Copies of this chain bind each other. A is one copy, B any other.
Amino acid sequence: MGNETTRREELLVVAARLFSRKGYHATSMQDIADELNILRGSLYHYIESKEGLLYELMELGIQTLMERVRPIVESDLPPDEKLARLIQQHTVTIASYPDFMAVFLHELKSLSPPRRERILAYRQEYDHLVRRILVEGVECGVFRPVDVRVVSFALLGMVNWVYQWYSPDGPRSAEEIGAIFANVVLQGVLERPEK
């Protein structure tokens, strides 16, 4: 780790930025090479192919997300606390690595079937983590008896959308946004009468 970045990591970061801003197919090897001040053929000293590069970026994205969220799910906190922390952690992670996360969320269709299958497996694993919390909460009566599948999609849409509008210069930090999200999902927006 430390402060040194290898040339290869530099390549990955540049590619993630370009892929997320312009899209995978709209970004040429030329574009990436220009940013690194080398010729486009030279990129193949670091990567196997353009699509291999895309796959690597997406795998990095989903793995980062998963290793940050899994400990929460497997902890022994009460379900409502787990859900709140998951929502917040997911939000913060997306805000921390917006380029990688945008690529991961956007470019699944740009992968060839075998690689797409592998990323889809990751994604389903992650979906399962989210649902486990909901099932747990409903079973022990902390949550109302909601449709777990639909609510988990609602939740994922809410947090995944963050990369579309979040800016570090905005009025709220990623932590605050995560907390607001969690609050809405748990309590709803409706004001309640005293009794």
Whether A161 pairs with B172 at a CB distance below 8 angstroms is no
A22-B109, A23-B110 known, 20 other contacts, Cβ within 8 Å = A23-B24, A23-B109, A25-B25, A141-B191, A143-B190, A144-B187, A144-B190, A147-B172, A150-B180, A151-B184, A154-B158, A154-B181, A154-B184, A155-B158, A157-B158, A157-B160, A157-B162, A157-B164, A185-B188, A186-B189
A→B interface (CB under 8 Å): 21-26, 80, 83, 106, 109-110, 134, 137, 141-144, 146-147, 149-151, 153-162, 164-165, 171-172, 177, 180-181, 183-191, 195
Whether B109 pairs with A146 at a CB distance below 8 angstroms is no
**A172: B residues at CB distance < 8 A:** 147, 150
Interface SS of chain A = helix
Whether A109 pairs with B184 at a CB distance below 8 angstroms is no
Whether B142 pairs with A191 at a CB distance below 8 angstroms is yes
- Give the Cβ gap from A195 to chain B, nearest Cβ, in Å: 7
**A23: B residues at CB distance < 8 A:** 23-25, 109-110
Contact sample, A vs B, 12 pairs, CB 8 Å cutoff? A26-B109, A80-B190, A134-B189, A142-B190, A144-B187, A144-B190, A146-B189, A147-B172, A149-B171, A153-B162, A154-B180, A185-B189
The chain B residue with its CB closest to the CB of A151 is: B184
**A185: B residues at CB distance < 8 A:** 184, 188-189
**A149: B residues at CB distance < 8 A:** 171
- Provide the bound-state CA to CA distance between A61 and B83, in Å: 34
The chain B residue with its CB closest to the CB of A22 is: B109
